[in-house]
């Protein structure tokens, strides 16, 4: 089985909106001398020019700044009449397995991906979905990562298409755009 890493790198992007900013603090080597003292180790155990270990910490990171998974709890406190799973309750098996990439790069910005779009692609490619399969939607909008346009451009899944995938037994779905739906600023404008 070929494993494909689709994660979005954790990095600072100057063009990200405030809610997506990542702030990484790099602590220099000399700051780590306290650790050697804390551990009670004599400095003579370390190379002559050793000044300590460097360390990094992520001080701020918006959810949409990186690859993430939205647990059912994100959308509702209940699912099928039971408490919805929180992120720590998602079985790891859901996140590993056979999958399919559904190419929707042809969709224009703000044109939702429909059930018919998905069915047409699957029929053309002679692909069948089965329960617990992972479905990834390729919109090509990942090219905007790190730019001001990332959360503002793209296509996204319609409610009907999402419901249809769930009815096929699909539990994990992903997209290369900022979010699963059409861009949020566009949806807000439409709602107003």
CA distance 166 to 160: 10
Note the pLDDT of residue 89.
92
CA distance 146 to 10: 11
CA distance 39 to 95: 38
Note the pLDDT of residue 32.
64
- The span from the first CA to the last CA of the chain, in angstroms, equals 47
Q: How confident is the model at residue 15 (pLDDT cuts 50, 70, 90)?
A: confident
Tell me the average pLDDT across 35-54: 76
Q: Residue 4 pLDDT > 70, yes or no?
A: no
Residue 112: φ, ψ to 5°: -65, 150
Note the pLDDT of residue 7.
72
pLDDT in tens, 124-136: 999 999 999 999 9
Burial of 175 (0-12, 13-18, 19+ CB in 10 A): buried
Note the pLDDT of residue 120.
98
Among 34-43, 78-87, 111-120, name the one with the lowest average pLDDT. Answer: 34-43
Residue 136: φ, ψ to 5°: -115, 135
Strands (E), the chain: 22-27, 55-61, 78-79, 82-83, 99-103, 134-138, 172-175
Note the pLDDT of residue 76.
87
* Sequence-separated (6 or more) residues with CB below 8 Å from residue 77: 83, 84
């Amino acid at each position: 089985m070929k494993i494909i890493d689709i994660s979005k790198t954790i990095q600072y992007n100057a063009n990200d909106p405030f809610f997506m900013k990542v702030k990484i603090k790099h602590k220099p080597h000399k700051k780590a001398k306290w650790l050697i003292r804390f551990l009670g180790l004599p400095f003579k155990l370390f190379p002559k020019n050793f000044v300590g270990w460097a360390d990094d910490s992520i001080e701020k990171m918006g959810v949409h700044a990186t690859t993430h998974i939205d647990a059912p709890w994100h959308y509702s406190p209940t699912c099928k009449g039971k408490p919805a799973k929180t992120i720590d309750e998602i079985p790891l098996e859901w996140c590993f397995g056979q999958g399919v990439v559904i190419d929707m790069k042809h969709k224009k910005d703000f044109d939702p991906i429909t059930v018919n779009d998905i069915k047409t692609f699957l029929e053309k490619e002679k692909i069948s979905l089965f329960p617990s399969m992972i479905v990834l939607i390729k919109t090509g909008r990942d090219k905007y990562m790190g730019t001001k346009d990332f959360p503002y451009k793209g296509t996204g899944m319609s409610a009907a298409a999402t419901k249809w995938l769930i009815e096929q037994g699909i539990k994990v779905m992903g997209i290369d755009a900022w979010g699963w739906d059409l861009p949020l600023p566009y949806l807000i404008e439409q709602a107003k």
